[in-house]
Chain A
Amino acid sequence: MSFSVTETSSRVKWISGTLVITYALITMIPLVWIMMTSFKTPPDSISYPPKVFYEPSLEGYVNLFTTRTRVSPETLASLPPPENFAEEIVRNRDMVIAGPSKFSGRFLNSVIIGFGSTFLSVFLGTLAAYAFSRFKIPLADDLLFFILSTRMMPPIAVAIPIFLMYRKLGLSDTHLGMILLYTAVNISLAVWLLKGFIDEIPREYEEAALIDGYTRFQAFYKVVLPQAATGIASTAIFCLIFAWNEYAFAVLLTSGTAQTAPPFIPTIIGVGGLDWPAIAAGATLFLLPVMIFTVMLRKHLLRGITFGAVRK
C-alpha cells in the first residue's frame, strides 16, 4: 500500500466504526421491535417489563387476516375440532373466525396503485426527460422549474380541490384516481432524475443511428432506452417507494375500495383496544419488502438520493 498523508490511522477507523455501528444498532431497535411484537400474543405484547424473550406465536398474523366473533363456552365445546392452526389459536381466546379481514384487499390496493403509478410516471417521465434533454423546447428551464416546484405544495392544500374535482368526475376512492394523483406527484422527481441520466448518454450514438436510417423514435427506442435502463430502474424504485408510503392523500381521498395499507394498518382494533401484535404483523408485511429492496439495491438507491438532491 502506498503511503499517503491523508490515510486515516487504524485507531481512528476503529473508533469511528464503533460509533457508527452503535448508532446503526440503536436506530434499528424500533424496527426490530415491530417484527418481534408481530410474533407475540396480545398479553405478551403489553407486559411490563417489555418481553425480549417469549414464546413466538402467530396470533398477530391470524388476527391480521381474519375477523373474529366471541362465542359462549357451550357453543365452543359443541364445534367440531379446529381444522387448522389459525382456528386453534382463535378458539383458545374463546372466539371463532367469522371471515377474512380487509387487510389483504388493502395490501392489494397498495400493490396496484403503487405499481400502476410507478409505471405511468416512469413511462411519461422518460419521454419528457428525453425531450428536455435532446430538443430545444421553448422555456425549457421555466418548465422544468415549474415541474419541480409543484413538489413544494403541502398535499392538503392540493387535496381540497382534488377532492372536489374527483367527486365531480367520479374518481374519488378509485384506483385510477389514486394512480393519476400519485403519478402527478412523482413525475416531477422522475423527469428530474431521468433527465440527468439521459444527459449522460452521448448524443453521438443516436446521431449514428439516425444517419443509418433510423427514425428519431427508433433511435430513442433502440439506442437511448437500453442505455438509460439503470437510471430508469432506480427512478422507478423511488416512485414506487413514494407511492407505497404515501399517507396524506390516501387518508383524505380514499375510504373503501381504493384505500391503501398505510391508512388502514393503524386502525386495526382488537378486543378492548388496539391489537398491537396484529398491527405489528401488518407493519412487518408492509415494511419488509421495502427494507429488503433497500439492502439489495443499496448502490443504486443511495446514489439516486444524493444525485437527485445535489444536481439542483
Chain B
Amino acid sequence: MASERSPMGAINMSDKTIDRLAGATPVRVARKIKGLSDRAIAWIFVGPTIFLLLAVNIFPLIWTINLSFTNFKANRLNREVEYIGLRNYERILGDSDIWLSMQATAHFLFWTLFFQVLIGFTLAWLINKKFKGNDLWTTIIVLPMMLSPAVVGNFWTFLYQPQIGLFNYIVTFFTGADPSSFEMLGSVDLAPWSIVIVDTWMWTPFVMLICLAGLRSIPDYIYEAAEVDRASKLRQFFTITIPMVLPFLMLAVLFRGIENFKMFDLVVQLTGGGPGSVTEMASINLKREAFEKWRTGYSSAFAIILFVTVFGLASIYVKALNKVKER
C-alpha cells in the first residue's frame, strides 16, 4: 500500500487524485484508527450492493443465457426441458419478423436521434445566449422528460384521435386538411412517425441539457482570441463551438441511443406495435414472444442477442467518442 502523504487535497482534483487518495491514508494515522479495519469496512459497505446486483441482475442474466439453449416454456412447467443447443439462435437469425422489428427499431432510432440532436442543440445554443429568465424556461422545457412515459404516452393516444384529438385539430387548423382524413396511430404510414414525435417531444430536453453543459464549458477567452483574429461569427461557430460541443453531443446520443434501443413503454401505450406490426420494435416483439406466446427459450435467446447488440454497438461508439475527445 502506498503510504506517502500527498500535500494536495481538494485543490487539484484530477483523475489520478482519486486513486492516489485511495492509497493515501498515512500509516501513522492508520495505526491509530480504532474499530474495524478499513478493509473490513470496505467490504461491509460494498457487499450489499454487489450482492443485490448479483441476485437481481447477474443471476437472472446467467439464467437467461442458460434458458436460451433450451425449449423451455414458462407456462408449461411440467414439460421436460430439453437442451437444443444453438437452434434458438439459428431460428432467430432466420426469422423475418425479427428482422422487421430490427428495421422498425432502426427507423425509430435514426429519426428520434436526428430530431433530438437538431432541436436539442439549437435550443441549447439559443438558451446559452443568456436572455432574461432563461433558467425558468429551461426548466419548463425539461418537464416532459421527468414524467412517466406510460402515463403521458397513453394520453397522447387521446391527442392523436382522428376527429376529436387536439393534435389532429391543430394540424388541420394549419393545413386545412379534413380532420378525419388522417389517423396518426391507425395508419401504416403515419404510426411510426407518431411515435417519433412523442419521443422527440419527451427527450429533446435531455440532449439540450447535455449540449448546454458543453456550451457552458467553452471558456470565453477562446472566442475573444478568435475575435482578435477577426474570425467571422460563422467561422467561430464551426471551428470553436461545434468541435468543443461534439464530445458532449456524442455522449447525449449514446445515452439516448441505448435508451431508445430498449424503447418499450411509449410504444406499448401509443400503438402496441400496430397497425399490423409496423411499429413492433425489438422490445415489443420480445415481450410478445416471452409473455404472450410464452416461448421462453426462444425469447431468452433473442434477449441475449439484443443485449450483445447494444453492448457491442455502445463499445464501438465509446471508442469513437474517446478519439473525438483526444483531439
Question: Which positions in A face B, CB cutoff 8 Å?
Answer: 4-6, 8, 12-14, 16-17, 19-21, 23-24, 27-31, 33-34, 37, 46-50, 124-125, 127-128, 130-137, 140, 143, 146-147, 149-165, 180-181, 183-184, 187-188, 191, 199-200, 202-204, 207, 210-211, 213-218, 220, 241, 244-245, 247-248, 251-252, 261-263, 265-266, 274, 276, 279-280, 282-283, 286-287, 290-291, 293-295, 298, 301-302, 305-306, 309-310, 312
Cβ-defined contact, B127 with A16, below 8 A: yes
A299 CB → nearest B CB, Å: 8
Cβ-defined contact, A47 with B56, below 8 A: no
Cβ-defined contact, B152 with A210, below 8 A: no
B227 CB → nearest A CB, Å: 4
> A12-B129, A157-B303, A261-B151 provided; 10 other pairs, C-beta below 8 A?
A21-B137, A24-B137, A30-B159, A156-B286, A157-B61, A184-B56, A214-B34, A290-B148, A302-B142, A312-B251
Least CB separation from B57: chain A residue: A150
* 0 or 1 for each of B214-247: is its CB under 8 Å from A? (1 = yes): 0000001001100110000000000000000000
Least CB separation from A204: chain B residue: B9
Size bracket of the B interface: 35 or more
B234 CB → nearest A CB, Å: 14
Q: Give the residue of B10, B147, B148, B212 whose beta carbon is less than 8 angstroms from that of A204.
A: B10
Cβ-defined contact, B144 with A27, below 8 A: yes
Please, which residues of chain A bring their CB within 8 A of the CB of B103? none
Please, which residues of chain A bring their CB within 8 A of the CB of B277? none
- Please measure, in the bound complex, the distance between the C-alpha atom of A6 and the C-alpha atom of B222, giving whole angstroms: 10
Question: Which positions in B face A, CB cutoff 8 Å?
Answer: 1, 9-10, 13, 18, 21-26, 29, 32-36, 38-39, 41-46, 48-50, 52-53, 55-61, 63-64, 67, 74, 119, 123, 126-127, 129-135, 137-144, 146-152, 154-156, 158-159, 161, 163-166, 169, 179, 201, 206, 209-210, 212-213, 220, 223-224, 227-228, 248, 251-252, 255, 258, 261-262, 264-265, 268-269, 282-283, 286-287, 290-291, 296, 299-300, 303-304, 306-307, 310-311, 314
Name 18 interchain pairs, CB-CB below 8 A, sorted by A. A13-B131, A24-B137, A30-B144, A31-B144, A46-B161, A143-B50, A155-B262, A161-B59, A161-B300, A181-B56, A183-B56, A210-B29, A211-B29, A247-B148, A282-B151, A290-B146, A291-B143, A298-B142
Please, which residues of chain B bring their CB within 8 A of the CB of A210? 25, 29, 32-33
Cβ-defined contact, A294 with B10, below 8 A: no
Cβ-defined contact, A154 with B131, below 8 A: no
Cβ-defined contact, B251 with A310, below 8 A: yes
Please, which residues of chain B bring their CB within 8 A of the CB of A157? 61, 64, 286, 303-304, 306-307
Cβ-defined contact, A23 with B22, below 8 A: no
Please, which residues of chain B bring their CB within 8 A of the CB of A290? 146-148
Least CB separation from A298: chain B residue: B139
Q: Give the residue of B18, B52, B151, B255 whose beta carbon is less than 8 angstroms from that of A183.
A: B52
Cβ-defined contact, A309 with B48, below 8 A: no
Please, which residues of chain B bring their CB within 8 A of the CB of A217? 35-36, 41
Given A131-B42, A286-B148, A191 and B223 contact (CB-CB distance below 8 Å): no
A34 CB → nearest B CB, Å: 5
- Chief secondary structure at chain A's binding surface: helix
Cβ-defined contact, A135 with B155, below 8 A: no
B323 CB → nearest A CB, Å: 15
- Please measure, in the bound complex, the distance between the C-alpha atom of A156 and the C-alpha atom of B141, giving whole angstroms: 30
Cβ-defined contact, A294 with B143, below 8 A: yes
Please, which residues of chain A bring their CB within 8 A of the CB of B142? 294, 298, 301-302
Given A154-B262, A286-B151, A29 and B36 contact (CB-CB distance below 8 Å): no
Cβ-defined contact, B147 with A20, below 8 A: no
Cβ-defined contact, A187 with B53, below 8 A: yes
B32 CB → nearest A CB, Å: 7
- Please measure, in the bound complex, the distance between the C-alpha atom of A218 and the C-alpha atom of B41, giving whole angstroms: 12
- Please measure, in the bound complex, the distance between the C-alpha atom of A305 and the C-alpha atom of B126, giving whole angstroms: 20
Cβ-defined contact, B166 with A50, below 8 A: yes
- Please measure, in the bound complex, the distance between the C-alpha atom of A211 and the C-alpha atom of B34, giving whole angstroms: 10
Given A23-B141, A154-B303, A156-B264, A280 and B223 contact (CB-CB distance below 8 Å): no
CB-based closest 5 A-B pairs? A215-B35, A157-B303, A17-B131, A184-B56, A247-B150
Given A152-B258, A207-B29, A306 and B209 contact (CB-CB distance below 8 Å): yes
Given A152-B311, A152-B314, A181-B56, A30 and B45 contact (CB-CB distance below 8 Å): no
- Please measure, in the bound complex, the distance between the C-alpha atom of A77 and the C-alpha atom of B164, giving whole angstroms: 35
Please, which residues of chain B bring their CB within 8 A of the CB of A279? 154-155, 158
- Please measure, in the bound complex, the distance between the C-alpha atom of A152 and the C-alpha atom of B223, giving whole angstroms: 38
Least CB separation from B321: chain A residue: A312
Cβ-defined contact, A8 with B130, below 8 A: yes
- Please measure, in the bound complex, the distance between the C-alpha atom of A125 and the C-alpha atom of B48, giving whole angstroms: 9
A247 CB → nearest B CB, Å: 4
